[in-house]
Structures are given as C-alpha cells and as structure tokens.
Amino acid sequence: MNDLVRDAEAIKLRATEAEELRARLQACKRWVTSLVNDLLRRSSSRNVAVSKLTPAEVEKRLAEADDLKLAAVEITQARKLLEEAEEWRLEAVHLLDSQPQTPITPHTLERLRSLARRSQELSVQLPQVEACEARLASVNSWLERSGAALAGTCATQRLVRLLAEGKAAAIELPQMQRLAEQVREQQWLEQAREALHKPATLGVLESLAKQADDAEQGTVSPAFKDTAHELRAKLLKARAWADRLA
C-alpha cells in the first residue's frame, strides 16, 4: 500500500482509487500508532501509573484492523499479549475464586506472590489484579503481625485473635501451628500459676502435670519448664499428703 501511494504521488496521479488508498494508509498508521501508545509501549518506570486497555477494548482495536484489512506485526503482538493476560486471569481465578477458599499454604503463597509480580507486566486491565493484590496484602499483614506476636511477649487473647483470623482466611502456614502451640502454652501457664498460688485439687494438679508431660515432648519455653517443675513439686507434696491421710 505504501508503494502504491508513493508511486501515485510521484507521477502526480489524480484518481479516486489513489485518494482511497491514501486515506486507508493514514487510517492504518493512526491505528498502529494508537495501539503502540495504548498497549504495546511499556512504561520506562514501573512507578509510573499507566492506564491500560481492557481485553474487550483490545479486541475492538483488532476488529478495526480487520476492517482496514491491515497486516502488521503489531496485531500479532497484541494477540500474544491477550493470550498472556488470559493465562494469568485463569490462574488467578483458580486461586482466588475457588469455593471453599483455596488454603494459603507455602506453595500457594508463592503462587500468589508470583501472580502479583506478573500482574505488573500485564499490558491489559483485569479485575482480578486488584483482588490478587488485596489477598496478598491481607496475608502479608497477617504474617507481619503474627511474626511480631511470636517474637515477643504477647497477651493470650491477641494470639487467639490472630489464630482465628488465620483460620477465617484459610491460612495454613507454619505460623498457624506456632500460634496454636503458643496459645496452648500460655493458657497452660495461666492455669498452672493459678494452681501454684491458690488452692488446687489433686485432680487439677495431676491433669496439669500430664499436659506438661505431653507438651514437653516438643519445644517449650524456659518459663514453661520452670513452672512445670514447680507444679510437679507441689503435686508430689499433695500426693504425699494424700498418702498420709490414707
């Protein structure tokens, strides 16, 4: 088409067909420029917000190219970007829209992070991107708060709330197990300290000692070990007293 228009201009030909070709050529150039600016050109900085076309808008542009009978490499590039976006969308839907909610395991967390990273490379606008970012932000917030709670001294109620929040969000990460263990330990410590400093039945002391034996099969804090030692000492005295009574 370029050659035909150029040759017509070279010989100064006035013809309806030449004018139609010239108009069509200009329309094709505008189409390519528009597509490059709106879809194919990547921002030089990822921190710069770029308005993106929706898949439907890209399909509309491609239909315009068909009407123009345009053959251009940009059409192939646009279709490839649409295919990449559809692959991303399907993976996001599978991960984010499943019922019941897909559990956040170490594997799915890595998939979620990968989706979030790849979403920055998408050249089209997809509603699942916002959902992906929101889900990842929610999990990261929980991880940050859980890590702080486990690393320091934290009230049992706060640990219980974090545990409940994690269950509601279908989080199945190692931190959930650690929170559950910490809750059990702190609840035991509260009960054991009460049994040490207030009157307690022999049955209560034996039950707490049995729980301590079970817990110490795993990892417990120094405070737990010290309290368990004191509790067993009181239990021995209580048993000795009961034997004397018999």
Which pLDDT value is given to residue 16? 59
In a domain, 240, yes or no: yes
Which pLDDT value is given to residue 15? 44
Please state, in angstroms and as integers, the Cα–Cα distance from residue 216 to each residue in 121, 210, 222, 229, 236, following that order: 50, 10, 11, 11, 19
In a domain, 196, yes or no: yes
In a domain, 219, yes or no: yes
In a domain, 225, yes or no: yes
Supply 158's token pair: 């706060």
Domain range for 187 is 182-246
Compute the C-alpha angle 181/146/195, nearest 5°.
40
In a domain, 160, yes or no: no
The count of domains in the chain is: 1
Angle between helices 16-35 and 2-10 (to 10 degrees): 130
In a domain, 127, yes or no: no
Its pTM stands at: 0.75
In a domain, 190, yes or no: yes
Compute the C-alpha angle 82/83/88, nearest 5°.
95
Per residue of the chain (246 residues), what is the pLDDT tens digit? 454 445 444 444 454 555 556 666 676 778 788 777 877 765 333 444 457 888 999 899 889 888 878 888 888 888 999 999 999 999 999 999 888 889 999 999 999 999 999 998 888 889 999 999 999 999 999 999 999 999 888 899 999 999 999 999 999 999 999 999 999 999 999 999 999 999 999 999 999 999 999 999 988 999 999 999 999 999 999 999 999 987
As beta bridge partners, residue 104 has 171
Report how far residue 6's alpha carbon sits from residue 1's, in angstroms, rounded to the nearest whole number.
9
In a domain, 113, yes or no: no
3-state secondary structure 106-158: HHHHHHHHHHHHHHCCCCECCHHHHHHHHHHHHHHHHHHHHHHHHHCCCCHHH
